[in-house]
Amino acid sequence: MRKKIFLLPAAAALVLALQSPAPDKNWPEYQGDGARSHYSALDQIHTENVSGLRPAWVYESGGVDTARNRSQMQCNPVIIDGVLYGVSADIQAFALDAASGKEIWKTSLEDNGGTISRGVSYWTDGRESRVFFGAGKWLHALDAATGKLIPTFGDKGRIDLKTGIERPGSDNYVSSNTPNTIYKDLIIVSARVNENETALLGDIRAYDTRSGKLVWTFKTIPDSSDPEAYKTWAPEAPRQRLGGANAWMGMAIDRELGIVYAPTGSAAYDFWGGNRAGDNLYANCLLALDAATGKKRWHYQLVRHDIWDRDPPTTPNLVTITRNGKKVKAVAIVTKQGHTFVFDRVTGEPVFPIDEVAFPQDGVEGEKPAVTQPVPRLPLPFTRQGFTAKDFSPFVEDRDSLENLLKNARTGSPYIPITEKMTVFFPGTDGGAQWGGAAADPDGILYVPAKELPVYTSLIPSESPAPQGSGGEKLYGMYCAPCHGADMKGNHDGSYPSVLSLQKKMTPAQLEQLLKTGRGMMPSFSHISQQEQKAISDFLFRKASHEKVTVSQKKIIPFQHTGYNRWYHKGYPVSMPPWGTLTAIDLNTGGHKWQVPLGEYPELTGKGIPPTGTDNYGGPVATAGNVIFIAATRDEKIRAFDRRTGNKLWEHALPAAGYATPSTYMVNGRQYVVIACGGGKLTTKSGSKYVAFSLPE
């Protein structure tokens, strides 16, 4: 008979610890791991003690734009063996002691494009370690110990990402601002390109991590060697005529299967597709590619012939779920439309039924919208799916005038072709889900932050190329008005600022430099002539100029949209709250476990109004301590929620809004949560500090 052995609690805990692998103390890559799970097995901070979190250190990264509040930090820092790697407000990489926040090194790179950055990628072969850092058109390889460029990589430590994706008439704008994906000795690269008719190609490429040599390319806009995809573009030769379809949002990887999962963006131009009739594969797809060769394993197109800028906004999540009593390795991706698509990771078969739904066909002249779009039956949508008069907020004034305005608008459907009439989308054109993405835990629960705001726009005829002798006003209408407005007032939330008083914020020379390089969400206009750039500057600074200006004959799209206009009234969204949410989706069943408002307007809460949620940017982190950490909101706070119930457990004010995803890690037996506080969006101030929180020692 086997003798029973009884262990004291401490001894029992020791046995369990020896039997179970220790949780990873690092945050080794973007969003935590290759699965992009945003998950950590650390549990020192848990639901019972999270209310005791206090700032442990603050790092001033530098480079904040205090004059215009336009700089941002969207970085999700990487932490390896006690060293934190991040990016400053002026797009310089740095390394810190992760326990103290003390700086180890910081780059002073030039020609970094002034673009936003969501972080870096880390590679090691056990002997040497490198940090890969995208800034402007360059992918830099840095020595992880010193921050110095590695001269044997590419051209003296960097490669020009524009090389190989040019096409006739394209511009020069490319930026690798989302951390790239490591597979063995490859770095698989995605990039942002312009969204107009001069955009570069959006090819996905893999480079050797040691030499920087190109290893493989997947053509997201196909050529005739891929007849299945090629026939979905008309007329022929789309790679000669069109750009975009780029994997700007980043990728997930299953290193055991050797598959990289890459979402792709819209083909340019985003809002009119009369010159690209057909479904347009591989734009707006989830691609499963062989990570070693770039060969396609499978694909699924999430939006056909996109004319709404409805590309997937974030990386997929690799999850393991239970369906019909069986474990399924799946890949899930959330969308701007408030849906979640779930596929078998190996075969690409949908885990839940997807319906083909017919939508209106009455587009502008030359447009041929897709007859149907795929809509998943499950999981349930995590946002409301339309906006009508009954959805106006109880806080709005002049309700009758707003309802009359809505009566003359196009609304009530997620895929209404945009015309010259006001067209209202709910959720808006940038979410629903946004680039911060979702967290996934080992139980198959997805935690999704979302925006629930109506956005309106319309299409108007493009200005014809101005004849010789016309000035900057015509050029402003062609290139600037789609975002900053014909009235130059920008939009309500400041994501596209007013340019009426530009002279108070910068000099003409600074504006002309900005037009060359781009900054933040503003792309480069290096594809127009220096003469044209100066004419725009003269117009915006109200200079009387009699110089003859010859305008480049590149405007070939007959329509332009009138901007991404969030519909606000008297300072608040016109829709019924909540305006921002955090939802727990059970991917095993397709149902919701809970949904709570995310963020608040203090002045409304002070009146006794329950938290309304706010517009938000940035992702969550889930932990084994049953805590969800998320900043993201315009009220400049970071919060902790119980991942089982959605109850708020803790919140703390930040020096600027944390429009980024936190990281969590452990050093010297102490768990930390760190967030980049960059602000600079949604009319909030810019910042340049990183704040790390921990429990008192």
Q: The domain spanning residue 533 has which CATH number? A: 1.10.760.10
Q: Do 46 and 650 contact (CB within 8 A), yes or no?
A: no
Q: What's the total number of domains in the chain?
A: 1
Range 500-507, long-range pairs (CB < 8 A, 24+ positions): 502/540, 502/541, 503/541, 505/67, 505/68, 506/67, 506/68
Per residue in 471-515, pLDDT (tens digit) is 677 777 767 776 777 677 776 566 667 787 777 778 888 788 777
Question: Taking the CA atoms of the chain, what radius of gyration do you get in angstroms?
Answer: 25
CA–CA distance from 344 to each of 302, 461, 678 (Å)?
15, 44, 37
Q: Is residue 454 part of a domain?
A: no
Q: How far, in Å, CA of 595 to CA of 539, rounded?
A: 48
User: How, if at all, do strands 39-40 and 621-623 pair?
Assistant: parallel
First to last CA, the chain: 48
The three-state (H, E, C) secondary structure of 365-381, written as one string: CCCCCCCEEEEECCCCC
Torsion of CA 493, 495, 500, 502, to 10 degrees: 130
Nearest Cα to Cα of residue 216 among 321, 108, 133, 291: 291
Q: How far, in Å, CA of 524 to CA of 517, rounded?
A: 5
**Stretch (H or E) spanning 84:** strand 83-87
Give the sheet arrangement for strand 158-160, strand by strand: 121-124, 129-135, 138-143, 158-160
Q: Is residue 609 part of a domain?
A: no
Nearest Cα to Cα of residue 375 among 391, 352, 344: 352
Q: Do 643 and 656 contact (CB within 8 A), yes or no?
A: no
User: How, if at all, do strands 285-290 and 267-268 pair?
Assistant: unpaired
Give the sheet arrangement for strand 663-667, strand by strand: 54-60, 686-694, 670-679, 663-667
Q: Is residue 197 part of a domain?
A: no
User: How, if at all, do strands 445-451 and 439-440 pair?
Assistant: antiparallel
CA–CA distance from 326 to each of 317, 322, 376 (Å)?
19, 5, 21
Residue 577 C-alpha from the chain's centroid:
24
**In which domain, by residue range, is 502 found?**
463-556
Q: Is residue 530 part of a domain?
A: yes
| Residue 159 phi, psi dihedral angles, 5° rounding | -125, 145
Write the DSSP assignment of 468-518 as a string of letters.
TT--HHHHHHHHTHHHH-TTS---TTSSS---TTGGGT--HHHHHHHHHH-
Write the DSSP assignment of 449-466 as a string of letters.
EEE---EEE-EEEPPPPP
Residue 658 C-alpha from the chain's centroid:
14
Q: Do 617 and 639 contact (CB within 8 A), yes or no?
A: no
Q: How far, in Å, CA of 673 to CA of 662, rounded?
A: 7
What's the pLDDT at 513?
Answer: 75
For Cα atoms 484, 525, 250, give the angle at the middle one, nearest 5 degrees. 85
What are the helix and strand counts (H, E) for the chain? 9, 45
DSSP single-letter state for residue 662: -
Question: For the whole model, what pTM was predicted?
Answer: 0.91
For Cα atoms 278, 336, 381, give the angle at the middle one, nearest 5 degrees. 110
Q: Is residue 570 part of a domain?
A: no
Write the DSSP assignment of 133-153 as a string of letters.
EEETTEEEEEETTT--B-TTT
Nearest Cα to Cα of residue 223 among 236, 209, 208, 211: 236
What's the pLDDT at 520?
Answer: 58
Q: Do 195 and 269 contact (CB within 8 A), yes or no?
A: yes
Q: How far, in Å, CA of 265 to CA of 389, rounded?
A: 32
What's the pLDDT at 112?
Answer: 79
Q: Is residue 482 part of a domain?
A: yes
Measured over the CA atoms of residue 82, residue 85, residue 89 and residue 90, the dihedral's sign is positive
User: How, if at all, do strands 670-679 and 686-694 pair?
Assistant: antiparallel
Here the tokens at position 242 are 């069109």
Q: Is residue 525 part of a domain?
A: yes
Q: Is residue 188 part of a domain?
A: no
The three-state (H, E, C) secondary structure of 569-623, written as one string: ECCEECECCCCEEEEEEECCCCCEEEEEECCCCHHHHCCCCCCCCCCECCCCEEE
Regions in the chain scoring below 70 on pLDDT: 1-22, 114, 463-471, 478, 482, 486, 491-496, 517-521, 523-524, 526-527, 543-555
Q: How far, in Å, CA of 552 to CA of 554, rounded?
A: 6
Q: How far, in Å, CA of 84 to CA of 128, rounded?
A: 17
Reported as half-sphere exposure (CB side, CA atoms, 13 A), residue 473 has a value of 8
